[in-house]
Structure 1
Amino acid sequence: MIKQLDRYDMIILMMAVALTCFGVVMVYSASSVMAAKKYHDGFYFLKRQGIYVLLGFTAMYVAMFIDYETWRRWAVPLLLVCLGLLLLVFIPGIGGTAKGASRWIRLPGFNFQPSEMAKVVLIMYMAYSLDKKQEKMKFFSTGFLPYMVLLTVLLGILLKQHDLGAAVTLWAVAFAMLFVAGARIQYFLSVVMLALPILVYVVMFEPYRLRRITAWRNPWADPTDSGFQIIQSWLAFGNGGIFGQGLGEGKQKLFYLPEAHTDFILSVVGEELGFIGVMVIAGMFFLLVQRSIRVALTSPDDFGRYLAFGIATLIGIEAFVNISVVTGLLPTKGLALPFISYGGSSLIISLFAIGILLNISSKARSGS
């Protein structure tokens, strides 16, 4: 088995497994007290995360052995399925709503978030399409406009779901892939100029988004409401110092820091393992993205290159945005820390994407 694994990029595999296992430990540390109070079971979130990890590792293992060329044939059908799933969340009785956001499809014992699937499916479709177009990328009508139409549809649905974090992530990944495919800079600038007024409208005319911007600029102006979460996050990092309070010894997770086991789990890491712990996690993400880009550069064909680059960009952007949010560099938005935050959809899809990367790495090493 070890000899069989030698054909894959072992650093990518080890980083993904290590981050996931570390995430299980931190989910339990961040959630046990809250789970005991709310569900009368301190292991409630740990047990569920354990199931998600098993499903995620299974998805990664299967994807490792599926030739990545298979996703070329399935790109369009999967995109259509994904669009259908994104629309299903609006159907009463099927879609689930939490805190004003409609992002989930209710399944027995599990809520599935189609936007997580949309991220990887969009990468598959763009890799397939960009590989076909090649020189057409220099022309606006054939090499740029069709992707803007698709992005507009996807972003419109996600904004209707009140999922600005996923919308921004899709936009950033798509633009990165178009850039490496050779789209002209002036196309990007023109779209950004057109999109800015829309972005301002989306933020200014949604009270909760405007409150997030205000809290980001000055959280102390409303320390008990809109600024509460980021202030508690800063307190967690401050309490942690260089070496941390010790695993399990954090105080901010004790009903002070909202979403301690999901979006703000890195704040718990900062309090319990200190600056050094946070830097180790950031370094692991950096190494994972760097090796993923290396896989893209050594892929035997353009489809594999675009696919690997898209996945590397997705992981890098999600990690960067989450770290920036919990440290106050960006306004608060609901975006999980890949592999570490509690949640099934994000974890399973992320590990599945790692499996695809590993398959591409095996082809690159064999030269086929």
Structure 2
Amino acid sequence: MVTPRLQSISDEPDTEPHRAPVTTSTQTPIVAPVERSFDIVLIAAVLLLLVIGTVEVFSASAVLGFKRHGDSMYFVKRQMMWIVLGSGVLWFSANTGYQWLRRWTYPLLAVTLLLLVAVLFSRPVNGAKRWFLLGPMSFQPVEIAKLALVGYLAYSLSKKADKVKQFTIGFVPHILVCAVMMGLLLMQPDLGSSVILGTTTLILLFVAGAKLSYLLLAVLAAAPVAYMLIVGTPWRMQRFLAFFNPEAYSLGVAYQSVQASIAIGSGGFTGLGLGEGRQQLGYMLEGHNDYIMASVGEELGFVGFALVIALFAVIVWRGIRAAVGARDIFGSYVAFGITVTFAIQALINTGVVLGALPAKGLTLPFVSYGGSSLLMAMFFAGLLLNIGRRAPARSRRRELVNRVGGARRRRPKAVIVVPR
């Protein structure tokens, strides 16, 4: 009896006889990282916010710039200068691997703590010691503190992944570092930024898997401190009372809040039009800065206000997307920490303008007039772009095909050949 033998016959000639055979194993092939494209949606959202912010900064500060500096375009010129510098910062952070933040975690943390201490000996501005004055420019170390804290939490949580649930290893060190930063910020004083750092820390610990009982313990421990900071400080107590009855303090601590409510109410659904706002005629002094959303609401109405909120929602969405699709757990924590920082700051700023939160001196990222705050916001956006770079499906498929055997070919057919 003749035993048949199997012979593989391909429909196409094998022009590359030395090519490695295609594996049929069920194991996933190891593929080198492919070149990824930047997140166009995130870039578009950031650019739109910058455009809206630049227009509103000019509209809200033209009268103020003319009165103080004799130039109605004084503030918008400086804003455009910061945007140009920020564009370079964004490009650098988007094209430089974010792993440098892992290597420089502790040096950056040490420098940040030194800056937060040094600023306490600086010259006060409006009763607060938050800025280093460098000639015509100023710098807030709290912006560096945001990056340092997020980098430290990402590095530590990724390193202690299996010990996060332990109280002394996974919870106490992170809370202590955050508490030291918050304490230095409260000495400036800067309650708003300290709230951002504390909330970011708790949310990242929650995402990392820390026990809810530990997080609740931290909140309960901070409650008496917050109570003493409010009750024990006269001007904070006045702001707290003005939150519930702004009309009674309309000529004092609630002046800006009342003017913001008037501006938003007069804007209606579609607004009064660009340059037609009335509160910018000397009634609202911070209309280009902390209360920029009041200017947006007055001139662009509910439509413009909702558009800005929607753009921040897009940034949060793309930030979470970048965190979920990051190449490593460190990058995932960094992206999530940056996203949480953006979300909390935008939420607090908008809540203050709408009268839903007590007054806090916080800018709106990408929109408010600012120097170091705008630069750091664009640096954070570049980090999100760097972490969230993704490859299109076709490019990824082509890379897989090239790795396992070149161009796609029909699967060889097995036929039975019986010799005569």
The question of a shared fold, defined as TM-score above 0.5 by the shorter chain, is answered with: yes
1:51 to 81, 91, 94: 81
Deviation at 1:315, TM superposition (A): 0.6
Which of 276, 299, 303 is residue 326 of structure 2 equivalent to?
A: 299
The runs of 5 or more residues in structure 1 that have no matched partner are none
SS of the aligned residue for 1:89 comes to: helix
Quote how far apart the aligned CAs of 1:6 are. Answer: 7.0
Q: Provide closer, same or farther for how the CA distance between residues 158 and 364 of structure 1 changes in structure 2, counting only shifts above 3 A.
A: farther
Residue 225 of structure 2: aligned partner: 198
The 8 Å contact of residues 96 and 111 in structure 1, kept in 2 or not, is answered as no
- 1:142-186 deviations in Å (ceiling 9; x for gaps): 000011111111011000001001000000111111110000000
**Is the CA contact (8 Å cut-off) linking 2:366 and 2:377 kept in structure 1?**
yes
Q: How far apart, CA to CA, are the structure 1 residues paired with 2:285 and 2:136?
A: 23
Ranges in structure 2 where 5+ consecutive residues have no aligned partner = 1-34, 400-420
Q: Confirm or deny that 1:68 pairs with 2:98.
A: yes
Determine helix, strand or coil for the equivalent of 1:299: coil
Q: Is the 8 A contact 1:28 1:45 kept in 2?
A: yes
CA distance in 2, matches of 1:222, 1:361: 47
Structure 1 residue 364: Cα displacement: 7.2
Counterpart secondary structure, 2:160: helix
Matched, 1:78 2:105: no
Counterpart for residue 310 of structure 2: 283
- The residue that corresponds to 1:256 in the other structure is 283
**Partner in structure 1 of residue 44 of structure 2:** 14
The SS at the match of 2:106 is helix
Contact 2:37 2:391 in 1 (8 A): no
Which structure carries more helix by proportion?
Answer: 1
Q: Distance in 2 between matches of 1:327 and 1:234?
A: 7
Contact 1:158 1:166 in 2 (8 A): yes
Alignment pair present for 1:344 and 2:371: yes
Identical columns (%): 42
Taking the aligned partners of 1:206 and 1:38, their CA distance within structure 2 comes to: 32
Structure 2 counterpart of 1:313: 340
Aligned residues: 361
Please list the CA deviations of residues 85-115 of structure 1 after superposition, one character each: whole Å capped at 9, or x if unmatched. 1112122xxx242221100112132100000
Separation in 2, partners of 1:106, 1:238: 37
Question: How many Å apart are 1:299 and its aligned residue?
Answer: 0.9
Shift of 1:227: 2.1
String of CA shifts for 1:196-250, please: whole Å, max 9, x gaps. 1110001111111111111111101222112221111110011100010000100
| Structure 1 partner of 2:184 | 157
What TM-score, normalized by structure 2, do the two folds share?
0.84
Q: 2: CA distance between counterparts of 1:54 and 1:122?
A: 26
Q: 2:254 aligns with which of 227, 232, 249?
A: 227
Contact 1:88 1:105 in 2 (8 A): no
1:350 maps to amino acid: A
**2:175–2:201 contact (8 Å) kept in structure 1:** no
The change in CA–CA distance for 1:236 and 1:360 in structure 2 (over 3 A counts) is same
Return the offset for 1:332.
0.3
Query: Alpha-carbon deviations, 1:31-59, whole Å to 9, x = none?
Result: 01111011111111111111111111110
How far apart in 1 are the matches of 2:363 and 2:391? 30
Please tell me the root mean square deviation across aligned C-alpha atoms, in Å: 1.5
Name the residue aligned to 2:16: none
- What amino acid sits opposite 1:348 in the alignment? L
CA contact (8 A) 1:298 1:364 kept: no
Matched, 1:243 2:270: yes
User: Does structure 1 retain, via aligned residues, the 8 Å contact 2:36–2:391?
Assistant: no
Residue 336 of structure 1 aligns to a residue in which SS? coil
1:105-184 aligned within 5 A: 105-184=132-211
**Inter-partner Cα distance in structure 2 for 1:270 and 1:6:** 38
**Residues 105 and 111 in structure 1, CA contact (< 8 A), matched pair in contact too:** yes
Q: Indicate whether 1:265 and 2:292 are aligned.
A: yes
**Preserved contact between residue 139 and residue 372 of structure 2 (Cα < 8 Å):** yes
Contact preservation (8 Å) 2:345, 2:364: yes
Contact 2:322 2:384 in 1 (8 A): yes
Q: Name the structure 1 match of 2:385.
A: 358
Q: For 1:170 and 1:363, how far apart are their aligned partners in 2?
A: 29
154-163 or 357-366: bigger deviation = 357-366
Q: Give, in whole Å, the separation in 1 of the partners of 2:148 and 2:43.
A: 21
Report the secondary structure of 1:97's partner residue.
coil
The 1-side partners of 2:47 and 2:150 are apart by: 22
- Supply the distance in 2 between the matched residues of 1:312 and 1:270 (Cα, whole angstroms): 25
The CA deviation at 1:195 is: 1.1
Deviations along 1:284-338, whole A, 9 cap, x unmatched? 1001111110110111210011010001101111111111000000000000011
